[in-house]
């Protein structure tokens, strides 16, 4: 239990540093942006595959 309390205090001390907080925020924002771009690309790919082709591959004759 005492080790856990020391770890929490150590983490709080580290998080007080402005550069560490800035790095964490940048990582989180970058992850959100990358996730949004990835989601957009996946939706675009699914949308393109779900469209029926304009030229039919066989004729019904």
- Of the ranges 8-22, 27-41, 46-60, the best mean pLDDT one: 27-41
Mean pLDDT within 37-47: 94
Contact 14, 20 (CB under 8 A): yes
Give the model's confidence band at 16: pLDDT under 50 very low, under 70 low, under 90 confident, else very high.
confident
């Amino acid at each position: 239990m005492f080790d856990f309390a020391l770890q929490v205090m150590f983490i709080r001390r580290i998080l007080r540093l402005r550069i560490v907080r800035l790095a964490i925020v940048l990582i989180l924002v970058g992850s959100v942006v990358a996730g949004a771009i990835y989601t957009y690309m996946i939706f675009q790919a699914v949308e393109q595959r779900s469209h029926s082709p304009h030229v039919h591959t066989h004729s019904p004759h």
